[in-house]
Amino acid sequence: MAKDGLGAGHNGKRWSGAGVGFCAVLISWYVSFYYNVIIGWTIYFMVSSMTSELPWIRCGNDWNTEHCWGGGHNDSLNATHLPNNRTSPALEFFDRGVLELHLSKGFDDLGAPKWQLVLCVFSVFVILYFALFKGVKSSGSHCPYVILTILLFRGAFLPGAGTGVKYYLSPDISKLLNSQVWVDAAVQVFFSVGVGFGVHLTYASYNNFHNNCYRDCLLTTMVNSFTSFYSGFVIFIFLGYMAHKHNVPINSVATDGHGLVFQVYPEAIATLPGGQFWAVLFFIMLLSLGLDSAMGGLESVITGLMDEFKDFFDRRKYSREIFTSFVLFTSFCMTLINVTRVSGYTMHWFDSYAASISLLFSALLEAIGVAWFYGIERFSENIREMIGHKPGLFWRLCWKFISPIFLIAVIASAIINNPPLRYQDYLYPTWAVALGWGFALSSVAMVPAVACYKLWKAEGSCADKIAHTITPKKERKAYKESGTITRFKLNHWTHV
């Protein structure tokens, strides 16, 4: 795509799909409310690693309870699910030392922000500002691959590493019958690849028009899949080591969400000789990956809105710098909710509603808008203009039928099989769940809202308004002169 606002196009071939664009921008902005806090946690852990002794390796600290149990090398106890109400020092460091979750009574018991976390998150936004205020021209780093490889070779020689790899390569196929697995997998893939956020469209706006986007898409998805598979080896090697160390099954060591990154993995690294070095290396890798992803999300917000309202911003000096400051400042203000003592609950709430089902809706509406309303024939012709040939039948069938049907099925499953929202042992109140659904649908609501606004602004009869709204700008003059509305013909909707 070439740079042309939220309803992107080229040389006037612009589809009036700004509603989907606003939806993607809003989702990216929402994600910045909590994703940048995770990067802040990474900085906090990285700084905490630069000490003579890692703070999560033993009990006896101010944040520890009488249930804390540091254990020993030969003790057969699970590091994160200990019997008799015992807890590991790594778990207590994260939950009590960092998040101070024990001081909160629930979702609505905010308290004051923790200044150490505020400072860490603020430093994240400062870094992001200097990376974004002139626009992102390139992004990416080899650093994560180098560190992953170092950790892979280090972990490969640990006892239990082979057991971890065997567990990783022996999936439980029966889990595929669980619809929630498909929902979680779809959201994870969308997060990993960046689908539905508008990030790729934003970065592509800096490309030459004839850039081979077909090749780039294939390379991006293959590299993403390889990276996920490769990093899985590193994770399960250390999980196998932890299972061996505590003489328990791997599935009792493994945990999901933030616990894996900020509890299990730090504890595993802490048991290695030179644990401080490996911890710093690990959190540098996380920081590099986190900043790179955060840049993409916020760049899609900044560039998307500035291109959509180009006339407004072009008339003002230093508009990019000022608007970048505004977007980052408002996002930082919202992150303050997630650095209070209730942050464990609010982070899980944001993670559940900011970009889960709304992200799937964003991708679905974009697929329908491009393949059905804009038209698969015109879209294929645009691709031919860019790379010299049209996409094959397989891709056209995917865009028009397979992808929308799959997304509809996943969304329906997510809505029907919606379990109560929990974080650890805490059950969220009904009003928090209702607020979450409202928050999730607020981004999706941009699509009908913008559609209604464009219909209201269009002139003529109801049919004329609809025709004007769903017709690309380049075709509007032709249909006004001839009276022929391509998108009112059956051939437009049945063509593949």
Q: What is the pLDDT of residues 77-123, one digit of tens each?
A: 344 444 556 788 988 999 999 999 889 888 988 889 999 999 999 99
Which spans in 141-178 are helix H? 143-156, 161-168
Cα distances (Å, whole numbers) of residue 321 to 123, 345, 405: 18, 34, 42
Which range, of 77-86, 139-148, 206-215, 278-287, averages the lowest pLDDT?
Answer: 77-86
- 292 marked as part of a ligand binding site: yes
Average pLDDT of 122-145?
81
Of the listed ranges 84-88, 278-282, 291-295, the one predicted with least confidence: 84-88
Which pLDDT band, with edges at 50, 70 and 90, does 11 fall under? very low
Range of lowest pLDDT (195-209, 350-364, 385-399, 476-490): 476-490
- Better pLDDT: 353 or 71: 353
- Residue 73, pLDDT > 50, answer no
Q: Is 327 a residue whose pLDDT tops 90?
A: yes
Residue 276 has pLDDT above 90, yes or no: yes
pLDDT of residue 341 exceeding 50, the answer is yes
Residue 178 is inside which H or E element, if any? none
Per-residue model confidence (pLDDT) at position 116: 96
Strand partners, 426: 423
Model confidence at 257: pLDDT above 90:
no
CA gap 477, 321 in Å, rounded: 38
The mean pLDDT of 177-206, rounded to a whole number, is 84
289 in a labelled binding site: yes
Lowest mean pLDDT among 144-153, 243-252, 368-377, 389-398: 243-252
> Mind listing the pLDDT tens digit for each residue in 139-184?
556 678 888 899 899 999 999 999 999 999 998 888 888 888 888 8
Q: Tell me the C-alpha distance between 102 and 92, whole Å.
A: 10
* Mean pLDDT over each residue of the chain, to the nearest integer: 86
- pLDDT band of residue 321 (cuts 50, 70, 90) is very high
Over range 2-29, report the average pLDDT: 66
Share of the chain above pLDDT 70, in %: 91
Mean predicted confidence (pLDDT) in 270-295: 91
DSSP structural state of residue 400: I
Q: Which of 124-138, 162-176, 423-437, 475-489 has the lowest mean pLDDT?
A: 475-489
pLDDT at 93: 93
Residue 8 pLDDT: 52
Q: Does 293 belong to an annotated binding site?
A: yes
The pLDDT value recorded for residue 99 is 92
Mean pLDDT of 31-52: 95
Overall average pLDDT of the 389-398 stretch: 94
The enclosing H or E element of 427 equals strand 426-427
Q: Is 327 exposed, middle or buried (0-12, 13-18, 19+ CB in 10 A)?
A: buried
pLDDT band at residue 135 using 50, 70 and 90 as cut-offs: low
b vs e for 85-114, b when ≥16 Cβ sit within 10 Å of the residue's Cβ?
A: eebbbbbbbbbbbbbbbeebeebeeeeebb
Angle at 41 between CA 107 and CA 197, to 5 degrees: 80
Q: What's the confidence (pLDDT) of residue 84?
A: 54
| DSSP assigned state of 9 | B
| 272 band by pLDDT with thresholds 50, 70 and 90 | confident
- The answer on pLDDT for 245 being more than 50 is yes
